[in-house]
Structure 1
Amino acid sequence: MSFQVLSAYRGAMRRLLTTLFALALATPAPAQPAAAVATGTQPVLLPAPWNPIADYVEAGQDEPGYRQWIAKGPWRLGQVRQFHDYLTQSGVSFVAPTWQLLRTASDWRRCGAEPFEVPPQEEWANIVNTLRYVRDHVVPYVGPVEPVSVFRNAALNRCAGGAPESVHKSMSAIDFVPLTPIGREDMMRRLCGEHQRQGPRFNAGLGFYSKMRFHVDSWKYRTWGRDDHGHLACPKVVMPAPVIASAPAGGVGPVAEQAAATSMVSTTPVLKPRESVTTLPVKDPLAPL
């Protein structure tokens, strides 16, 4: 092979290699499988938003449902205003929004009942001490709470599976859920501890249902419900029997009877239901209070 031919061959090979190298640089690398890129990582799961009322309040018993309920019976507005004014005079109108205190039962739709109801006026006094207890001994320990069931007439109480002696029928009882994120056992611990200290003064009943729903009334001092491990939510507390002075030998005379009466220890002093302790302005009960 002559020198000229060999030189031309080498030049052609250099140009070919240069072209192939340039093409290799210009070609993008094949995409890696997604699984390979994500090897060793887990998908990020965001916590669900805190919304405990979703388990108990459905459309129709929410705020738009309340406004529709008023619109269907305009006469109800006057009844609501009277109830709101009564709560204001009693110093408990801002413990919870007035319209939420008119919620009936969570099963109202299944039972063919109204989602809201203004109870008879003779029952209004029964809710005052319950709201006082909630204001002073529930909210400070678990934060704001929302009523999900308050007054139930007798027919609705039967349909909803309430006990025949349920104090929801007399408007002493309110079922709540907390609005501040809190664990169920932590909620129980806080409420049970304060209930042991202050419950007797208010004849307060405290009960726990599934999830975050709990019950408060001012009818009788007691507790019920269990935690997620099957244990009693609140430890049993034995109330001491009243202490009565011993009668003197020879019978009980007027002086001994008076001594016995004045020496009795009372753990449940009567609280006046109409005691007024508020100076807060009255708001429109139609608005979210």
Structure 2
Amino acid sequence: MRWIVSLLLFVAAPAAAQMTVYPPSSNAVPVPMHAGWNPAADYISIGQDEPGYRSWYAAGPRHAGAVKSFNAYLTEWGVSGILPTWQILRTATSWQRCGGAPFEVPPTTEWPHIVQTLRYIKDYVVPTVGPVEAVSAYRNPNLNVCAGGAPESAHKHYSAIDMVPLRQTTREELMRKLCAVHARRGTDYSVGLGFYAFLRFHVDTTKYRRWGADPNVASCPAIIKPSDLASVTMGPQTQPTAEPATTIGAKVVYAPHGTDPLAPTPVSTDTQP
């Protein structure tokens, strides 16, 4: 009997090793990972991973209390569980070099800005490219400067999230899919879409624009530019100059619920993701 139990444990171990286990304060469902496929690894250092979050969370009651309040806010506005809480509290990839914290709960005045971004990710990013992992979100003003962010970076105001896909793909396929849905629905949500080297991409809901790809082609095929060939270290941390911000297409109509300033009802009849 003992050898049968040992055999069952041996067979089950590989499957368990492929599942991501999220720490407390997260409502997200674990995502199966293909062996050897971890596009977030190049951007996440020890201390900004799951064990690092647990250590940060347990460092004092201030962190735990702030996370609890933040989770309650996300639940209130219907955007909890879209991405794990610990991931959307990640700061800059260069947090260590800049002497910053690996995780940070933004000031409450910035919380409304992430609501619309999470909605767009839920409604159009995940249905288009599959599950994603957030590798960088809020950067306080000092960290934003050190990380090379623009003076009014959407990260500084907690509207932006940098992500990588968890479903195996190519850079060209990722760009084509995200650009196509951005061309259809990005104006409704005022989405900024940016591409960095490799598979890291940026989404914010500050204003409609796109960079890192041909701005004149709706499907934006993967045209490799010199700026796209940055190293893993420099590419994700440098905010390239965005295309001129223009509002194109339908006007945003705000939904009549609560006082949420970031809850537009898309006026387009296109219901495809």
TM over 0.5: yes
Query: Where does residue 140 of structure 2 map in the other structure?
Result: 153
Q: 1:112 to 1:231 in 2, by over 3 A?
A: closer
Spell out the pairing of 1:242-261 with structure 2 (5 A cutoff): none
Post-superposition offset of 1:269: 2.7
Asked whether the 8 Å contact 1:205–1:215 carries over to 2, the reply is: yes
Instruction: State how far apart, in whole Å, the 1-side matches of 2:35 and 2:244 are.
Output: 35
Structure 2 distance, partners of 1:54, 1:164, is: 28
The aligned residue for residue 139 of structure 1 is 126
Give yes or no for contact 1:205–1:216 (8 Å, CA) kept in 2.
yes
* Alignment match, 2:27: none
Q: Is the 1:205–1:223 contact (alpha carbons within 8 Å) kept by the matching residues of 2?
A: yes
Cα RMSD over matched residues? Answer: 2.6
Q: What are structure 2's unaligned runs of at least 5 residues?
A: 1-33, 214-221, 229-242, 264-273
Pairing 1:196-235 to 2, within 5 Å after superposition: 196-226=183-213, 227=222, 229-230=224-225
2:254 to 240, 249, 270: 270
Bigger fraction of residues in helix = 1
Q: CA deviation at 1:107?
A: 0.1
- Taking a change above 3 Å as real, the CA distance of residues 106 and 231 of structure 1, as seen in their structure-2 partners, is closer
Does the 8 A contact of 1:50 with 1:181 survive in 2?
Answer: yes
Match of 2:162 in 1: 175
Residue of structure 2 equivalent to 1:112: 99
Structure with more relative contact order (C-alpha pairs < 8 Å, separation 6 or more): 1
Aligned residue for 1:72, secondary structure, equals: coil
Does 2:88 match 1:93? Answer: no
1:58-110, Cα deviation, whole Å (9 max, x unpaired) = 11000100011122223210110110111111111111001111100000000
Q: Which has the larger radius of gyration?
A: 1
Structure 1 vs Structure 2: percent identity of aligned residues?
54
Question: Which residues in structure 2 correspond to 1:4-43 (within 5 Å)?
Answer: none
Q: Secondary structure at the match of 2:133?
A: strand
1:84 equivalent in structure 2:
71
Deviations 1:211-235 (A, max 9, x none): 11000000000000033533999x9
Equivalent AA in structure 2 for residue 230 of structure 1: K
Aligned residues between the structures: 204
1:4-27 deviations in whole A, cap 9, x for unaligned? Answer: xxxxxxxxxxxxxxxxxxxxxxxx
Q: CA deviation at 1:177?
A: 0.6
Cα deviation 1:94-139 (Å, max 9, x = unaligned): 1100111110000000000000000001110000000000000100
Q: Which amino acid aligns with 2:254?
A: V
Q: Which runs of 5+ in 1 are unaligned?
A: 1-46, 242-265, 276-289
Conserved? CA contact 1:154–1:169, under 8 Å: yes
